[in-house]
Every structure is written in C-alpha cells, then in structure tokens.
Structure 1
Amino acid sequence: MGSACPVSGNSSAWLQQNFGNFSQFADYNDFVALNGNFSAMEALSSLTVPQIVSCSLFPATGPGAAGNISDSIVGTLKNSTDVYNFLTSLNNAVTSKNNGSVTPQLSQALLNKTFQVIRTNFSSFNSSDWAQLFQNQLSSVLPEITTDQMSLIPNNISCNSYQAIVKGLDSNFSQMTPAKQESVYKSFVKPYLTNKGNTITCFNQTDANSSAWLVTNMASFMTYTSEEDLALFANETMLQIFASDSSCVQLASQLKFPKNTAVYYTSLLTSSGNTNLSR
C-alpha cells in the first residue's frame, strides 16, 4: 500500500507533513503500511521510544544493516534514564508480541551502552539494584553478554548481589550459546566462588537452605564445572551435602556434564549411588 500523500524529501518530512504532532500516537507499523519507502533511519529523531522499539524488532536487510540501525538507535540514548526507558519498552514489546530474542547486534549495542552509562554507579549498587538490572532491565538482551562486560562487575559485591546476578543469568541460560554459557562460568561464577581461598564463599550454615549451595551459587552454569573446580569451592564432606540436596539433584538431572564430572558428582551422592549423569 502506497502513501496517500507522498511528498518529496525524506521520511522525517513525510511524518511531519502527514501526521504532525499526532505521529506520537501512531504505531510504527502504521508508518510502514502507509509508506512503503518509509525509513526509520531517516525518521529516527522524530519517533517515540515505543516506535523505535518496534522498528528495532523488524529484521534489517542488506549488508551491515542490522549493525547500522542498532548503532543509530543506541545513539539516541544519551543517559541512564534514556537507556532504562528504552529497555523497559523493549522488554514489554518482546513479551507482549512474543517476538523472542532481540537481534545480537542490538543486544550488544544496548549492553555496551548500559554498562557505559551506569558503571560508575556500580560501587553503590545493592542487591536490589543488581536484581533489577539482571533480572528485569537487561532480560531481553542478556543472552549476548560478553566476558568484557561481565568483568566490569566489581569482584567485591555481596553474596546477595552475586546471587541476584546469577539468578538473572540463569533465567537466560537456555537462550545463550554454549560458548556464552561457558564464558559466564569461567569469567564470573568460578572467580567469585574462589575469591575467599579455603573459606566456602556465600555459605551460612544457619541458613535453612544452606545445603542448596550449588543451586543458589552456580545454578545451570554448574554444567561447566569440573572435579578440580568443585574441590576449590568446598571440601568433599561439604560437597556431599551440597550435591545430595534435593534441589541440586533435580537440577543436575536436567544438565549435561562431561563424563569425568558426572562420575565425580555421582560419587558425592552417597544416598543415591545409582544416579548416572554422564553424557
């Protein structure tokens, strides 16, 4: 369907002449339907956040198109408020329209921008802030997080903060590539859990759920651990307690372990010696 009122000039001029201030109430799909030559790149400064979000979820075509539109979109975000508003709108759109995951290019651009504008605030973040960031605000783009971005998280965050981050990452575990999953384990999970030497990190024996230590602190990323790594986290007596916890047994039964790790984990299950977790 062509535009009923074609004009010379770019898409920004077309918007202004055909919609004026009422353009803010339209859906991005309306512009595309009415003008087959509509270019979001040309009209980006005239679009609202929800319209830009809708545009970002359309597949870009042509060499480098996805990267170009992603960079242009993120370029409109000037501060943390802009970033948070865009992420909120993006998460709502992905959820409501069942669009699945955001393009890797846009995810990377948004992750870079987010860490760029808020990293100076990390030192004052509490566990609620980390939970909000990793479990809500970054939920649609988290599968593309990189080792470099993870390295920006301070290594002295509290256990509650660490566990809040792991929970957010774990909720996106199935959306990550195996390489991303392993990089999270090696660059974040393992370093944090070994930063206290011979002391078990984030273990409080008075906690009613203390035996669920492996689930709470490693979640699905446990699939990338090894016998050698487990020995760094706790002694064998404690590992037997952790491995035998019902929540850990259930999670482990859903994961794929290398054969050596599976054999060792099975040996820890003193009350379930028949468990076989090898691939």
Structure 2
Amino acid sequence: FEALDLLSASQVAQLAAQSGALNNADLIRLVFDRLDGDNALQDVGEFLTALLRTSQALDINPVVRDIMMNRAFAILSLHFEDFESHDWVSWFTVKLVSLLPSLTAEMLQRVTSYTDCDAYHVIVGALSSVFEQMTSLRQQELTPVLLGYLKQRRASGSTCSTNSSNLSTYLWACFGKFSIYVDYEDLRGLIEGFGSFEALDLLSASQVAQLAAQSGALNNADLIRLVFDRLDGDNALQDVGEFLTALLRTSQVCSRFGHQSCGERHHDESGLRHPQPPF
C-alpha cells in the first residue's frame, strides 16, 4: 500500500479486492485516506464502481463495511443538495449497493431530508434489495425514518403516491420490505383502502392478525382462507403462532373497549374492500 498515491481510484479498487483490504479495517482506512482528496466524490464513485466489477458478490467484513459506508457517506452527503434524479439512482442502486446494509438511521434521515418522492422511492427500492443482508435491529431502526418521511409529506399536503391503483404496488413503493415493521394503524392512516386483502403478502403475521380482526374476516370463511393462504408459507409454524398471539391481543382490546373499537368496516357481498388510491 506504499504507492497508493500513485494509483487511480480504479487501481486502488483492484488492490483492495486482491490484498484482503475488504477484511482489514486498517487497510481500508488507508484506502479511504487516499480517496478523500480534492476529487473525493469522483474518486469514491470510481472506486466503488470498479470494486463491483472485480466481483458482483463482494465479501466485505461487516466492520470494514461500516467503515467504508461511514467514509463514503461523509464525502457523498456534502453533495446531496446538488443531486439530480440520476444521481440518486446511480449512487444508491449501483455504487453504494454493497455498502447499504451498513446505512444507519441517522444517515437515512439525512438522505431523506434532500429527496423528493421519486428519489425516495429509489432509496426504498435500493434498501429493500439488501434487506436480508441487514440485521433485524438495523431493519427496525430504518423503518421509523421511512414512516416519518411519509407522514411529513402528508402533513405538508404533498403525497408520494404512484401511478398504480394496485394496493401492493403502493405499499411496496412506500415501504418496500420494511412494511412488516410499520404499525398497522399507521399503515391505515397513510394509505386509504389499506383494510383490503390485496397486500397480504407484504404484511407480517401480526399485521395480518390486526387486519383479520378489523375487517370482519373472523366471520367470513372466504377471507379467513386468504389469511391462512398467506400464513402457510416457508415459515408457517412461526407465522401461525405469531398470528394467533397477535389475534389474542387484538381480541383483548376489542372486548375491553367494545366491538366498534376493532374498526369494523363495510364490505360488499364478496367481503372484499375495493382499494382506493392512497393518500
């Protein structure tokens, strides 16, 4: 690493990939010391792009990845104010994708403070693409930031809807895979028509329980079959257990405060609600 100053950003990426720097905190700090110069934004972008070319499945130590994300974000965030649509796409769906599992809630808060709705949807999609690589704690930490952004947009009279009338598409655009951590009542408050059964596949078992209790599914054979079709997947035992436990909690609330507190809704003869465009 003695000749780092003489190498281009692309060459530094090749050196990092071949030298073991992606698993060595001290070496990766040297790499970013080299990149953090007069042309830092361009060099970091070139470095990350070249790194992806060396291997589409980069094996980066989580501690090293955190360092890389912190250093890259410190450089990148200085330019958010000047970002255009293509910049959000380029950085968050390509250049940063291998580092996104290390994005913190504080970083996401800063990102969303500069995004319009189109850029927000790009960010949600990018984060959802690495959802399984994040820890459960990180997933849960990021979700309130997404929810807060949408609530703020709604309060200001600006919506982040999509052109689709499909409820699942709306929910995916708003939260992606993070929807399972959003409180059911928040989802209902943000998305009109959310009480329908179109988006079952994007709900957690607990959210499905709340929907079942409030939609009349407990008195409708067709709807309850849809519920169990959703639960009967790869994690069926866990999901059914979570569903029944959440259903008991919902039932206790309903019995304490009366049937109407369960949010009974009007249905047509099929028992299905017709979704309305959200927001």
Residue identity matched to 2:208: A
Aligned length: 219
Tell me, what secondary structure is at the counterpart of 1:90? helix
- Give the letter aligned to residue 195 of structure 2: Q
Residues 1:273 and 2:233 aligned together: no
**Within 5 Å, which residues of 2 pair with 1:58-207?**
58-59=19-20, 66-77=24-35, 78=37, 79-95=40-56, 98=57, 100-155=58-113, 157-186=115-144, 188-195=145-152, 196-197=154-155, 201-203=159-161, 207=163
Assess, with a 3 A threshold, how the Cα gap between structure 1 residues 154 and 266 changes in structure 2: closer, same or farther: same
Please identify which structure carries the higher helix content: 2
Assess, with a 3 A threshold, how the Cα gap between structure 1 residues 66 and 251 changes in structure 2: closer, same or farther.
Answer: same
Task: Output the CA distance in 2 between the equivalents of 1:200 and 1:55.
Answer: 47
Deviation at 1:171, TM superposition (A): 0.6
Determine the C-alpha separation between the residues in 2 that align with 1:60 and 1:158: 36
Alignment check: 8 A CA contact 1:122 1:154 kept: no
Q: TM-score normalised to the size of structure 1?
A: 0.67
Structure 1, unmatched stretches of 5+, are: 1-39
What residue identity is the alignment partner of 1:208? S
TM-score, normalised on structure 2? 0.67
Quote the Cα distance in structure 2 between the aligned partners of 1:118 and 1:101.
23
In structure 2, runs of 5+ residues without a counterpart are 232-238, 243-279
1:202 Cα deviation from its structure 2 partner: 1.4
Change (3 A) 1:80 1:103: same
Q: 1:101 to 1:169 in 2, by over 3 A?
A: farther
1:45 maps onto 2:5 in alignment: yes
The share of aligned pairs that are identical, in percent, is 23
Q: CA RMSD in A?
A: 2.9
Describe the SS at the equivalent of 2:12. Answer: helix
Listed as ranges, the matches of 1:25-40 within 5 Å are 40=1
Greater relative contact order (Cα < 8 A, sep 6+): 2
State the match for 1:261 in structure 2.
207
The structural deviation recorded for 1:156 is: 5.5
Letter in 1 for 2:41: S
Amino acid aligned to 2:16:
S
Letter in 2 for 1:135: T
- For 1:179 and 1:137, locate their aligned partners in 2 and report how far apart those are by CA, in whole Å: 24
